[in-house]
Amino acid sequence: ERLCLRIEKLEASRENKLRESRIIGRVTSRVQEPDYRINVRRVNFRWQRGIKIGEGQFGKVYTAVNIN
């Protein structure tokens, strides 16, 4: 009986440490929908797109030149 309680306590402690270090997580039935909102900003000057400086999961990045 005491041994079982001690093992349960040890397992709970181990699980908490793994959760805190984000090695394990919880399985839930909730499915998280991806968020595709993009905030578009308008600028009040004329500009010209320059060279591509990078590309990633969220799109491409270019330099820009203010031509005003």
Report the share of the chain in percent with pLDDT over 70. Answer: 100
Is 55 within 8 Å of 61 (Cβ atoms)?
Answer: yes
Domain ranges of the chain: 1-27
pLDDT digits over 38-64, tens only? Answer: 788 888 899 999 999 999 988 899 999
pLDDT of residue 61: 95
E-strand stretches of 1-68: 47-56, 59-66
Is 64 within 8 Å of 53 (Cβ atoms)?
Answer: no
- pTM value surpassing 0.75: no
Rounded Cα distance, 49 and 43, in Å: 13
Rounded Cα distance, 68 and 65, in Å: 9
User: Which residues does 67 contact at the CB level (< 8 Å), separation at least 6?
Assistant: 46, 47, 48
